[in-house]
Amino acid sequence: MLGFTSKQLVSVGIFLFAIFIGVPLIIGATGRWDFYFTLTSVALLAIASAGVWLTFYIGRINIGQGAFALIGAYVSAILVVKAGWSFWISLPAAGLFAAVVAILIGLPILRLRGVYFAMITLVLTQVVTLTALALPITNGAKGISNIPLPSGISLFGIPILPDFAEMGNTKLAFYYTACIIMVLTYAALYRLVNSRLGHLCRSMQQNEELASSIGVNIAYIRILIFAISSFFGGLGGAMFGSIAQSVYPSSFQVADSVNFMLNCFLGGLGYVFGPMLGTLVLYFGWDLLFEFGKYQMLIYSTILIIIIRFLPNGLLSIRFGKGGDK
């Protein structure tokens, strides 16, 4: 099953039980309904971070994932509000549109050396922000608000997906939706890494010249991986827009793109599930340090430096040692 060992299947089972049953039971017992929004945000950030991790997997630094999250949020909002599409259809459409944009961007720049690609992705988020401010269809600085909640879907009269507007607890509905998408994202990522394409990506990461000498189409794989990475970003952004029921040019900024990258470093670049752990730790860690006031950034930066210095393979290396792709 997706190449998992028996031990890994047990771990996956425990994880699924925890997020789909354990967390709702704990929140229900404590009455802290606000945690649903917090954990939903973590799940969606983990989805976008998975795409950044994938570009790291081919040896490229992607500091522009916030741009594709913003693209996904706007595309979904425009399709739902102005074209009358169902949110559930706009969700993959937003991801695909972000992937197409990535291909158009990647065709010329992914033939360049990695440092140039990193420099260009650094400005992508700001470029998309300025574009959103300038285009009439995005309503400029006003953004798009009053995005309706996801509607229900029925097949032959049988309800497949519920109408969120008719639900008493939309936070729980969004939490389950985000977690399902996150699980599917990381299952796909794990499968990709352990496929033939994943092995080719690993060979590129180690030595592109050697990989090219044995017939690997370097440019094609770079563009394909960048498109998949951006699809994840668009997917996460579209979900964020639906939860907030609004999207603005400032919804995703350069700092978000940097955080997506830090999530990968913190969790572990050598581990498929590293971005998920990194997102969880970074999100809650930042909130916990809020109590230190003006020293928050200093403590935060110091901890990150210490982790990168003494755990260069991320937090998951504590559990798995020097191995990777777990």
pLDDT in tens, 49-94: 999 999 999 888 899 999 999 999 999 999 999 999 999 999 999 9
Q: Specify the higher pLDDT residue, 52 or 111.
A: 52
Query: Taking residues 206-234, what's their average pLDDT?
Result: 87
Q: Is residue 288 part of a domain?
A: yes
Q: What is the reported pLDDT for 90? A: 96
Does residue 145 sit within a domain?
yes
CA dihedral sign of residues 188, 219, 265, 311: positive
Is position 27 within any domain? no
Cα 173 from Cα 151, distance rounded (Å): 12
Q: Is residue 137 part of a domain?
A: yes
Query: Is residue 282 included in any domain, yes or no?
Result: yes
CA 151, 44, 199 angle in degrees (round to 5)? 120
Within-domain flag for 206:
yes
The per-residue pLDDT for 291 is 75
User: Average pLDDT of 254-261?
Assistant: 93
Average per-residue pLDDT for the chain? 89
Return the CA Rg of the chain.
20
Q: The domain containing residue 69 runs over which residues?
A: 33-156+169-320
pLDDT in tens, 270-321: 899 999 999 999 898 877 777 777 888 888 888 888 887 888 888 888 876 5
Give percent of the chain above pLDDT 90: 60
> Is the sign of the CA dihedral 169, 170, 175, 181 positive or negative?
positive
Helix H, strand E, coil C: the string for the chain is: CCCCCHHHHHHHHHHHHHHHHHHHHHHHHHCCCHHHHHHHHHHHHHHHHHHHHHHHHCCCCCCCHHHHHHHHHHHHHHHHHCCCCCHHHHHHHHHHHHHHHHHHHHHHHCCCCHHHHHHHHHHHHHHHHHHHHHCHHHCHHHCEECCCCCCCEEECCEEEECCHHHCCCHHHHHHHHHHHHHHHHHHHHHHHHCCHHHHHHHHHHHCHHHHHHCCCCHHHHHHHHHHHHHHHHHHHHHHHHHHHCEECCCCCCHHHHHHHHHHHHHHCCCCCCHHHHHHHHHHHHHHHHHHHHHHHHHHHHHHHHHHHHHCCCCCCHHHHCCCCCC
Domain count, the chain: 1
**What band does 210 get if pLDDT is binned at 50, 70 and 90?**
confident
Comparing 128 with 293, the larger pLDDT belongs to 128
CA atoms of 170 and 10, how far apart (whole Å): 31
φ and ψ at residue 274, rounded to 5 degrees: -60, -45
Residue 150 lies in a domain: yes
pLDDT value of position 180: 95
Specify the pLDDT at position 6: 78
**20-45 tens-digit pLDDT:** 999 999 999 998 888 999 999 999 99
Domain assignment of residue 16, yes or no? no
